Amino acid sequence: MKETIALRAFFKVATLWNLSQGQCAALLAVTPELIDSWTQGSEIVDSDQLVRISHVLAVYAGLHAIFGDAPISDAWVHAPNTDFGAEAPLERMLSGNIHELEEVREYVDRWNA
């Protein structure tokens, strides 16, 4: 059940952030085929994927807490940011390394504090 809710929420954020299937797969460190399986109703999600989903959802929620419903809330992840070496936060998160997801989440959490 929690997997279904987490996946649904993740895919809503992915849509708002205009993420491709490949980007979704990179964020969750899975294959594009598994993304397909999830969009068709499979609920097999391991703990690493749930942690990754929670980081993405926390970034999304934090940005909306900071910016409200302004378009920047969803565009922020795509914009170059000097605090990430002029790289967009999304590019950092797409590395596949969970520590990069944590870094972006912690960055947003600090701004939201």
Residues 42-100: pLDDT tens digits? Answer: 667 889 999 999 999 999 999 999 999 999 999 999 999 999 999 999 999 998 799 99
Beta bridge partners of 81: 87
Q: What one-character-per-residue DSSP string does 12-23 give? A: HHHHHTT--HHH
pLDDT confidence of residue 38: 82
Q: What are phi and psi of 69, to 5 degrees?
A: -90, 15
pLDDT of residue 1: 53
Prediction pTM value: 0.92
Among residues 50, 65, 49, which one has the least CA distance to residue 108?
65
Task: Express each pLDDT in 28-41 by its tens digit.
Answer: 999 888 888 887 77
